[in-house]
Amino acid sequence: MATIDDIKSKIDIVDLVSEAGVKLRHAGRNYTGFCPFHDNKHTPAFVVWPESGTWRCFGQCNEGGDIFKFVMKRDGLDFKDALQKLADRAGVKIESLQREAPQVKEAHERLRLLLEDVLIYYRTHLFNNKEVLTYLREKRKINDTTIETFGLGYAPHGYDNLLKHFVPKGYTQQELIDVGLLTVREDDAQQIKRTNDKFRNRIMIPIRDETGKMAGFGARIVDPNDIPKFLNSPETPIFTKGHILYGLDRARKPIRMADQAVIVEGYLDVIALHQAGYENVVSPMGTALTEDQLRLLKKSTRRIVLALDPDTAGQKAVLHGLDAARSAMDREGELGFDARGLLRNEARLQADLRVASMPDDLDPDEIVARDKDEWKRLIENAKPIVTHVMDSLAAGQNLNDAKVKNQIAAQVLPLIEDLPNAMERDTYRQALARMLRVDESVLAGTQAQGPVVRHRPRAVDRSQRVVTPLVALNPTLRIESYCIGVLFRKPALLYRLDRKLQESGLSALAVEDFEYTDHQLIFGVIRLAVEQDEKDHHQYVMSHLPESINDVSLDLLAQTEQLDPVDDKLLEELLARFIDLRRANAMLNMNQLRFLQEDEQQQGGANLKTYQEQAMQFMRLLHSLDQAKRKLTLRRQE
């Protein structure tokens, strides 16, 4: 499911503000212009910060926010409508707004319950089959603990085992069909439908979504003569192959801890690597990587290694996903842009995508079985995508042939030109020139593959635009996410935090302490929760949270799974972080006010007094914040 961060990462706030009729001019790392929300044509007091994706009016409005707040204020919308409007612009489907009907939700839960019961059924058959157990233990080197952990099972021979076993237990034939366990075939002669067990004589691998809910099964052959080698559940109401990564339910924490995700091709590879201690590994559903799968990983890390199996099919499958990888981590625009649009958005890409090739025709599970530490070295030595593509295209080619050189250059140069960093582009051009043994200047005249597409004019001069990192990597957003996540998980801390702030001569926590609209909305619900006494605080928050930010709440819970169990320590940490947030915000405003005062003096000084008063307020706030931070530091040292 697309998150609010996905929408933020796809919409350039400078473009959004410019299209609203604000003529922005480049001022250092920021942009300034006249506020569109009040009448002011004298001093440009409206400031846009591309790095954080936020804006603020220092004039009559004296408020600011992110892209959602801008659209809410400009168009008079609530958050839900603004979210939908910007999602449409970004090409993101907001599935969370499409509330599941109670009867549909109940039916889906029924199907998941059926899958859990089938898992037990398959597991029982596995432990009654010595031949398959021996294969897993001795051939695949999977121990019994891992077999239990991943819920491996065995589907026995036969065409009606599931029907005979589960219908007497209260499940229906249609439910077995709906969940993908029975296949239906038409009997034209008797004009009836017949069903067969979909999985027969196969090792069964349960597939769960990222939250751990059962979604389907993967199945591997036991008899080498059977085809296909791997078989997945069909698409069902609760299983969409392109939206799930195998093993992610167990890998989310390790991925965050390692700040890296590794993608392999096979389910058994994932299991073997987790058993070996490499738990940040996941696998797609036997297909090329999809954008939705990479979005799931983006919630936990932006460092992704694609570990290619040695067989050609596996390598092709993952290489086919490289374009999806570069698009899904993106940048700042709709997926599927033309070449020029992709180039513009590449300037926003902050992912580190690398490729690790397996040596000696070995699969990942064979590598860790041979040498557990070898896997670590392979991942550490993973190559950037451009380098991997260059090496792959050059392998086995006659690099003395001019036509071969031209073909390789035509394939590699578009990748190089997509890179946002000038130094990286130069480095790769030099590397390509050395590999092809040609002068670098010759590459400039090589026709790159792909159409040339003209791009529409921009409201802001491109020559003045600066490359800025994604909103998702902004330090303020990271700190805000942590703080609101702690309060979301433990709302009762808010009262104690307010008292600590007031004891330090500071105001209680308020919506204005949060820069991003989704955080402001969540904080508003938390504040209401602690001011009522009819429900448990956390239950109140969960039941009153707007549907439009459910995905944000899930991310916050995931990010705060390993909090310090001691509330006093958490409270001190929150206090320190909110002091830092307020100080950073005050300094940012102070610096901007200094520029505004200089401009105002040149323009005649009509608003100079207003700006000076605002600056004095921020100076007093900074003094109070510094005093509070010193007191907190002294307490920690006692």
Shared domain check, 439 and 480: no
354 within a domain of the structure (yes/no)? yes
pLDDT tens digits along 588-618 = 888 777 777 776 676 666 677 777 888 888 8
- Which comes out higher in pLDDT, residue 186 or 409? 409
- Is the separation of the CB atoms in 334 and 90 below 8 Å? yes
Q: 129: closest CA among 165, 154, 149, 157?
A: 154
pLDDT of residue 222: 93
Shared domain check, 329 and 435: yes
Which CATH number is 585's domain given? Answer: 1.10.860
pLDDT of residue 635: 79
pLDDT > 80? residue 263: yes
Going by pLDDT thresholds of 50, 70 and 90, the confidence category of residue 65 is confident
Greatest mean pLDDT range, 273-277, 392-396, 453-457: 273-277
456 within a domain of the structure (yes/no)? no
Shared domain check, 303 and 398: yes
Shared domain check, 480 and 570: yes
Which CATH number is 329's domain given? Answer: 3.40.1360.10
Domain boundary, last residue among 190, 206, 239: 239
pLDDT of residue 135: 94
Q: 294: closest CA among 337, 344, 335?
A: 335
Shared domain check, 384 and 253: yes
Give strand pairing partners of 46: 33, 57
- Which comes out higher in pLDDT, residue 352 or 232? 232
422 within a domain of the structure (yes/no)? yes
DSSP 286: S
- Model pTM? 0.55
Going by pLDDT thresholds of 50, 70 and 90, the confidence category of residue 152 is very high
SS3 content of the chain, % helix, strand, coil (to 5): 55, 10, 35
Greatest mean pLDDT range, 5-9, 288-292, 431-435: 431-435
Shared domain check, 218 and 284: no
pLDDT of residue 345: 31
Going by pLDDT thresholds of 50, 70 and 90, the confidence category of residue 14 is confident
At 336, list the tokens.
């599927």
pLDDT of residue 28: 67
Shared domain check, 228 and 264: no
pLDDT > 60? residue 317: no
Shared domain check, 261 and 365: yes
Percent of the chain's residues with pLDDT above 70: 82
Which CATH number is 34's domain given? Answer: 3.90.580.10
pLDDT tens digits along 346-382 = 333 345 778 888 888 888 989 999 999 999 999 999 9
Enumerate residues 6+ apart whose C-beta is below 8 A from 259.
301, 303
pLDDT > 90? residue 456: no
pLDDT of residue 288: 64
pLDDT of residue 381: 92
pLDDT tens digits along 474-485 = 567 778 888 998
- Which comes out higher in pLDDT, residue 277 or 51? 277
- Which comes out higher in pLDDT, residue 178 or 585? 178
Which CATH number is 153's domain given? Answer: 3.90.980.10
pLDDT of residue 605: 65
Work out how many domains the chain is built from and give that number: 4
Going by pLDDT thresholds of 50, 70 and 90, the confidence category of residue 261 is very high
How many of the other CB atoms lie within 10 Å of CB of 615?
A: 18
pLDDT of residue 24: 85
458 within a domain of the structure (yes/no)? no
467 within a domain of the structure (yes/no)? no
388 within a domain of the structure (yes/no)? yes
Domain boundary, last residue among 217, 239, 261: 239
Report how far residue 47's alpha carbon sits from residue 30's, in angstroms, rounded to the nearest whole number: 7
Mean pLDDT estimate for the chain: 80
Range of the domain at 164: 108-239
Going by pLDDT thresholds of 50, 70 and 90, the confidence category of residue 336 is very low
Enumerate residues 6+ apart whose C-beta is below 8 A from 499.
none
pLDDT > 60? residue 115: yes
pLDDT of residue 106: 83
pLDDT of residue 396: 82
pLDDT > 50? residue 313: no
pLDDT tens digits along 384-423 = 878 887 887 888 889 889 898 888 888 788 778 777 677 8
pLDDT of residue 492: 86
Shared domain check, 201 and 130: yes
Question: Following DSSP, what letter does each residue of 241-260 receive, concatenated?
Answer: GGG--BTHHHHHHHHHHHT-
Domain boundary, last residue among 97, 131, 166: 97
pLDDT of residue 341: 29
Shared domain check, 93 and 113: no
Burial of 630 per CB tally in 10 Å (0-12, 13-18, 19+): exposed
- Is the separation of the CB atoms in 276 and 372 below 8 Å? yes
450 within a domain of the structure (yes/no)? no
Shared domain check, 365 and 384: yes
- Which comes out higher in pLDDT, residue 268 or 191? 268
Shared domain check, 189 and 220: yes
Q: 146: closest CA among 268, 255, 271?
A: 271
- What angle separates helix 493-503 from helix 475-489, to the nearest 10 degrees? 120
pLDDT > 50? residue 110: yes
- Is the separation of the CB atoms in 52 and 516 below 8 Å? no
C-alpha distance from residue 602 to each of 41, 528, 599 (Å): 15, 47, 5
pLDDT tens digits along 541-556 = 888 887 777 777 777 7
pLDDT tens digits along 194-214 = 899 999 999 999 999 988 899
Tell me which of 177-191, 491-505, 573-587, 602-616 is least confident: 602-616
Cα dihedral value 473, 475, 481, 482, nearest 10:
120
C-alpha distance from residue 194 to each of 130, 160, 219, 512, 619 (Å): 32, 10, 22, 63, 79
pLDDT > 70? residue 451: no
462 within a domain of the structure (yes/no)? no
Name residue 469's amino acid.
Answer: P
